Homo-oligomer: A and B are copies of this chain.
Amino acid sequence: MIIVMKPGTLEEKTRELITRIEDMGLKPVHLRGVEREVLAVIGDERVLEKLHLESHPEIESVTQILSPYKLVSREMHPHDTIVSIGGKVSVGSDRFVVTAGPCAVESMEQMLASAKAVKSGGAHCLRGGAYKPRTSPYSFQGLGKKGLEILAEVKSVVNLPVVTEVVEVQDVELVAEHVDVLQVGARNQQNFRLLQELGHCGKPVILKRGMAATMKDLLLAAEHIVSEGNPDVILCERGIKTFETATRNTLDLSAVPYIKMKSHLPVIVDPSHGTGLRDLVAPMARAAAACGADGVMVEVHINPAEALSDGEQSLDPEMFSSMMRELKPFVEAAGKVL
């Protein structure tokens, strides 16, 4: 850790600080610069968090040398983590995993038809939302428990692992009983109580990047889950909020190779929410495969014009099949199988 003192700081204040750092078992080196005094601290600087040095009125800036996350960093764990879903699909392996399905579970009929359609199109996992966080109180909010039961039944019919979003601590257990993967939506990426609860839910978690979250924020959120005991975290890039309004969000695909450099966790991409436009889903899925993603998650609805949620970004089954066909050579060029 590098601590820069404000200009004009008294010698004794600096010495006092040196003593506090030494008391934590670390070794500060005092560098007397021409315009600034600097303390360089040697040792695991994470123990210094307790000193709250950034609050010191005499300190101008504090720069960390090490990343603030540990368990999810590639330095700690150089090999790729592979997350097994329902004993059937491995995310982070040489399989490019495609999760597809409607934004919201609307009815047994709709969900079953969707599941059959995406399975025949080649999807490896089924998605569908039972709990929908919606911006307007006047929009459809999801079927809740009934939606989970529909998902569980459809799963037993089509034999595909199922992913669904969980939005509340008190729902975690119930959701974990019904599905194979629990998803944390962008709006809950910094709902730390929910993350901690997912740390002992016993199932893999897909953690979507928040709309205002840096990659560091996302990795710290994953650290919350892993540090509570659940190593099976899949990160999901789904677009960030920027000034561009032509697309719903700005899909930050650079996050894929960047996070894979910094972390051992698998990374998937959601081009449906990432762009908000159905015509961009297939090209951005191909780009995701090309830059090293471990899979994609796309919205497919049997009749997008009737969808209760996010219809403008949903593919119909035919568009989904065509996306899968186009995706194949890119997945193979990336050394994976579809």
Contacts and interface: CB of A to CB of B under 8 A. Distances in A.
A333 B331 CA distance: 10
A170 B194 CA distance: 12
Nearest to A259: B246
Nearest to A45: B33
Interface in A240-274: 240-247, 250-254, 256-258, 261, 274
A314 B283 contact: no
Contacts of A33: 42-43, 65
A52 to B, nearest CB: 5
B135 A217 contact: yes
A283 B257 contact: yes
A167 B191 contact: yes
Contacts of A314: 55
A246 B215 contact: yes
Q: Sort chain A's interface into a size bin.
A: 35 or more
Interface in A199-247: 210-212, 214-217, 220-221, 223-224, 227-228, 240-247
A99 interface: no
B32 A29 contact: no
A330 B253 CA distance: 16
A146 interface: no
Interface stretch (A85-93, A117-125, A147-155, A288-296): A288-296
Interface in A272-309: 274-275, 277, 279-280, 283-284, 286-292, 304-309
Contacts of A322: none
A216 to B, nearest CB: 7
A75 interface: yes
A34 B244 CA distance: 29
B192 A134 contact: yes
A306 B4 CA distance: 18
A66 interface: yes
Given A33-B42, A55-B307, A245 B193 contact: no
Number of copies: 4
A77 interface: no
A284 B261 CA distance: 14
Interface stretch (A108-116, A136-144, A174-182): A136-144
Nearest to A274: B254
B291 A286 contact: yes
Contact of A288 (B133, B167, B216, B287): B287
B243 A258 contact: no
Contact of A333 (B29, B40, B292, B329): B329
30 contacts: A32-B42, A33-B65, A34-B42, A49-B136, A52-B306, A55-B306, A55-B307, A55-B312, A55-B314, A133-B193, A137-B224, A167-B191, A167-B192, A168-B193, A169-B169, A169-B170, A187-B190, A188-B191, A212-B212, A212-B243, A214-B246, A240-B250, A242-B252, A244-B252, A251-B254, A287-B287, A289-B290, A290-B291, A329-B329, A332-B333
Query: Which 10 interchain pairs have the tightest Cβ spacing?
Result: A55-B311, A212-B212, A329-B333, A290-B290, A287-B287, A287-B291, A211-B212, A212-B241, A286-B290, A257-B283
